[in-house]
Amino acid sequence: ISNLRSKVSKFARRVWKIGADDPRKVIHCMKVGLALALVSVFYYTRPLYEGVGGTAMWAVMTVVVVFEFTVGGSLYKGLNRATATLCAGALAFGIHWLAIKSGKTTDHIILGASVFVLSSVATFSRFIPAIKTRFDYGITIFILTFNLVAVSGYRVEQLLTLVQWRFCTITIGISICLTVCVVIRPVWAGEELHNLIICNLERLAESIAETVAECLKEEGSTTAECKQKSTSKVQGYKGVLNSKASEDSLANLARWEPSHGRFSFQHPWRQYLKIGAAMRHCAYCIESLNSCISMENQQPPDSVKNHLAVFYTKLSSECSKVLKEIANSFRSMKRSSSVDYLVEEMKNTAEELQTALSSLPQEATAVIMETLPLITVASLLIEISQRVEGVVD
C-alpha cells in the first residue's frame, strides 16, 4: 500500500508541476468549463429551447470540439466547421432535391452513389499537403454534414429546417467559444511561436557557450552540483532539435489569427519557420561537437589546449552574443543595429582561429580529432547567423 501511495503522490506532484509551470493551462481548463456551462444555461432557458429544439446538442458538441488552447486553433476549427457545414448542407440539399425529382427507385441510387463518390473524393483531398494543413478539420466536417443531411433527409421531410438549425446552433456554439477564448486571458498561437523562437535562440546561445566551456574545463575542478547545472544548459540545444513539430503547427494556427498586440494579420510567420530551420541547422553542429567532446578519451597536451583555448572561448562567446542579440531584436521587434557589428567581429575571430590552427605545433596533429570539430562549428555558425540575421523581419 505504501508503494501505491508513493506512486500516487509522485503522480500528483507531476500533475501539479504541469499546472504550476504554465498557469495558462489551468486557466484554459476553467475556460472550457465556463464555455460549456454557458451553453448549458442556454439550453435550460425555455424560450430558446422552443426555438433551437433537439438540435441544441450541436451547440454543446461544437464547443467541446472547437475549443482549443490557442485562439488560432479555435478560429481554425470554428471557421472550418461553419464553412464546411454550410457548403455540405447546400450540396446535400441540392442532391437530395435532384434525387426526389428523379423518382422512386433512382433516388436510392443517386443518394448512395453521391455519398460514396463525395466521401471518397473528400477523403482523398486530405492527402494533399496544401489542403491538409489548412482545411483538414473542415473536410471531416464536410463529409459528416453531407452524410447526415443526405441520409437523414430521406426520412425527415423538413430538410431545409434541419440544415438551418444545424448551422444556427453551430454558429451559436462557435460564438460562445470564441468569445470566451478571446476575452478571458487569450493565448495567441502567434505569440507562442514568437516566444518559442526567442527561447530557442537563447537556449542555443547558452548551449554554445557552455559546451565550449565544458570542453576546456579541467577535470575535477568543479563540484558535482555545478556540473549538473552546466549540463542542463548544454542540453538546451536538444530542445531546439525537437521543436520542429510545434513550430510548424503554431505557424499554421497563427495564420488564422487577426492582428493582436504587436502582430498584424499577415505577419510573416513563414519567416519564423525559416529561422527555426536555420537554428536547427546550427543545433545539429552543436550535437556533433558535443559527442566529440564526450568521446575524447585521449587527453590533449596542455600546450595545444592553451594555444587554442583563448580563441575557442572568444569565438563561442561571440557566437552566443550574436544569437542573444538576435533574440533581443526579436523581442523588441526592431532590427538591431549592433548585429552587423557583432557578426563582423565573430568572423574576424573565426579567421584568427584559422590562422592559429595553421600555426599549430607539430605534436598537435595527434589531438586534432578533438580540436577540429570546434572550428567547423564556428565557421558554420557564421554562415547560420548571417542567414538568421538576413531574415529578421
Nearer to a second copy, 290 or 329 (CB): 290
Minimum distance from CB of 28 to a second copy (Å)? 7
CB 308 within 8 A of CB 356: yes
Minimum distance from CB of 259 to a second copy (Å)? 28
Nearer to a second copy, 147 or 271 (CB): 147
Nearer to a second copy, 151 or 213 (CB): 151
Minimum distance from CB of 86 to a second copy (Å)? 17
CB 58 within 8 A of CB 176: no
Write down how long the chain is: 393
Record the cell numbers describing residue 192, joined without a space: 507562442
Nearer to a second copy, 145 or 329 (CB): 145
Calculate helix-pair angle for 71-101, 244-254, nearest 10 degrees: 60
Three-state SS at 300: coil
Instruction: Give CA–CA dist 133/140, Å, rounded.
Output: 13
Nearer to a second copy, 54 or 220 (CB): 54
Nearer to a second copy, 117 or 160 (CB): 117
Give residue 171's region: left, alpha or beta (phi > 0; psi -120 to 50).
alpha
Record the cell numbers describing residue 325, joined without a space: 542579440
User: How many Cβ atoms are within 10 Å of 123's Cβ, its own excluded?
Assistant: 12
Instruction: Give CA–CA dist 59/44, Å, rounded.
Output: 13
Record the cell numbers describing residue 132, joined without a space: 491538409
Three-state SS at 361: coil
Amino acid at 201: L
Nearer to a second copy, 125 or 195 (CB): 125
